[in-house]
């Protein structure tokens, strides 16, 4: 009898242990699922708050451009790209100027607090070329919007006088003669189509400005003309004077165009095919302002890219650039 009783007690103990093991497994599993859900919820909250910070940066720079038109942030003394950093939670710049190198991590900010919302913002105002030939040109609309119609004209103005410690520089031009609607090679006879280029140059000695004129005609067996291959880049600035404007007007055919600056009359500046540099000169004011804004909160960052049209004073588009950092807060891309 005692032997049987012991067997019953031992069986009950095993059953209780199995039940406890099952309950423990369920509890630990539930706890793990809850922990994962909590981390996901926390990461999503960080992500949303970082996105709101990035949006604030876009709006900040758009307002500056709309009312002050002074949004350019110049590189530092070591020619490193800088961003304007702002602490949204504190409502203040984290330093006297708020300028930081773009390569510096947000965590190196003086007084950095992961519980604060920050944004880094910068604007691209300049482009090294104006391009109506290559469809994939940076910051350029589709090429059909940059076709210069025959008998219409385009003016280039605002050339800097202090580029590279006063060094001389030239305008390289390239034209592709096309039909009036901007499509296909021009059907007009080759000996008729040309582009008239007029230049007004103001002299440094205060004497009256000079008007000069160049005629760019189509070469034989080609619909393109390139000033660099003919050593005919237009002198914009030298010790004697500076161009106040260059006016371009095509006749008989419309043209797609490419402009860049260079250091000599036969240099390419930037190429129209792959945009590689060869003795480039100063840059042009871009047609649109491209705003980069990166927001930070907790363990997340979000970068937005906005396109601002200075003519209409409106944001044309805002697009996501990347998702949350997932615990690795690093410099903006």
Note the pLDDT tens digit of each residue in 122-152.
887 778 888 877 655 544 444 455 788 889 9
pLDDT tier, 325 (very low <50, low <70, confident <90, very high otherwise)? very low
What is the percentage of the chain residues whose pLDDT exceeds 90? Answer: 26
Mean pLDDT of all residues in 184-210: 80
Q: What is the pLDDT of residue 135?
A: 55
Q: What is the pLDDT of residue 272?
A: 75
Nearest to 131 by CA among 256, 255, 225, 254: 256
> Phi, psi at residue 226, to the nearest 5°?
-130, 120
Quote the DSSP letter at residue 312.
Answer: T
Cα separation, 16 vs 226, whole angstroms: 91
Spatial CB neighbours of 172, under 8 Å, sequence gap ≥ 6: 226, 227, 228, 233, 259, 260, 261, 262, 267, 268, 269
Note the pLDDT tens digit of each residue in 237-248.
998 889 998 999
Cα separation, 130 vs 65, whole angstroms: 21
pLDDT tier, 218 (very low <50, low <70, confident <90, very high otherwise)? confident
**Which of the residue ranges 36-40, 200-204, 236-240, 296-300 would you say has the lowest mean pLDDT?**
36-40
118-127 and 154-157 beta bridge pairing: unpaired
pTM exceeds 0.95, yes or no: no
Mean pLDDT of all residues in 29-34: 64
Q: What is the pLDDT of residue 142?
A: 47
Mean pLDDT score of the chain = 80
Mean pLDDT of all residues in 151-171: 88
Tell me the helix, strand and coil percentages in the chain, rounded to 5. 25, 35, 40
252 close to 149: Cβ distance less than 8 angstroms: no
Cα separation, 57 vs 119, whole angstroms: 6
pLDDT tier, 32 (very low <50, low <70, confident <90, very high otherwise)? low
Note the pLDDT tens digit of each residue in 36-79.
655 655 677 888 899 999 999 999 998 888 887 767 777 777 76
**Which of the residue ranges 13-22, 27-36, 172-181, 217-226 would you say has the lowest mean pLDDT?**
27-36
H or E stretch covering 34: helix 2-67
Cα separation, 305 vs 256, whole angstroms: 28
Q: What is the pLDDT of residue 331?
A: 45
pLDDT tier, 219 (very low <50, low <70, confident <90, very high otherwise)? confident
Q: Is the pLDDT of residue 103 over 90?
A: no
Cα separation, 137 vs 288, whole angstroms: 13
Q: What is the pLDDT of residue 299?
A: 83
160-195 core/surface letters (b: 16 or more CB in 10 A; e: else): eeebeeeebbbbbbbbbbbeeebeeebebebeebbb
Q: What is the pLDDT of residue 138?
A: 46
Quote the DSSP letter at residue 281.
Answer: -
User: Which of 5-19, 69-83, 178-192, 245-259 has the highest mean predicted lDDT (pLDDT)?
Assistant: 245-259
Cα separation, 58 vs 52, whole angstroms: 10
292 close to 111: Cβ distance less than 8 angstroms: no
Q: What is the pLDDT of residue 133?
A: 75
| Burial class of residue 35, CB neighbours in 10 A (0-12, 13-18, 19+) | exposed
């Amino acid at each position: 009898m005692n032997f049987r009783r012991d067997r019953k007690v031992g069986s009950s103990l095993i059953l209780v242990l199995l039940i406890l093991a099952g309950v423990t497994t369920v509890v630990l599993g539930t706890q793990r699922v809850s922990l994962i859900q909590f981390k996901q919820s926390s990461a999503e909250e960080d992500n949303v708050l970082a996105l709101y910070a990035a949006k604030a940066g876009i709006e900040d720079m758009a307002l500056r451009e709309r009312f002050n038109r002074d949004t350019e942030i110049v590189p530092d003394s070591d020619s490193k790209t800088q961003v304007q950093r702002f602490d949204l939670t504190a409502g203040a710049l984290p330093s006297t100027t708020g300028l930081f190198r773009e390569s510096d991590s947000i965590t190196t900010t003086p007084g950095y607090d992961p519980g604060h919302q920050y944004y880094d913002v910068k604007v691209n105002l300049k482009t090294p070329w104006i391009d109506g030939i290559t469809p994939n040109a940076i910051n350029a609309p589709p090429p059909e919007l940059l076709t210069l119609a025959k008998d219409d004209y385009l003016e280039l103005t605002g050339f800097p006088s202090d580029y590279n410690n006063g060094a001389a520089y030239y305008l390289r031009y390239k034209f592709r003669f096309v039909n009036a609607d901007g499509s296909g090679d021009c059907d007009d006879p080759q000996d008729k189509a040309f582009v008239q280029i007029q230049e007004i140059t103001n002299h440094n000695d205060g004497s009256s400005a000079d008007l000069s004129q160049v005629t760019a005609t189509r070469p034989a067996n080609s619909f393109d003309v390139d000033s660099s291959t003919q050593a005919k880049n237009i002198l914009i600035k030298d010790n004697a004077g500076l161009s106040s404007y260059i006016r371009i007007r095509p006749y008989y055919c419309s043209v797609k165009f490419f402009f860049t600056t260079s250091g000599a009359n036969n240099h390419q500046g930037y190429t129209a095919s792959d945009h590689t540099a060869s003795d480039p000169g100063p840059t042009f004011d871009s047609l649109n302002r491209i705003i980069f804004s990166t927001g930070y909160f907790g363990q997340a960052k979000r970068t937005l890219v906005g396109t601002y049209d200075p003519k209409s004073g409106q944001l044309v588009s805002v697009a996501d650039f990347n998702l949350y950092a997932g615990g690795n807060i690093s410099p903006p891309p």
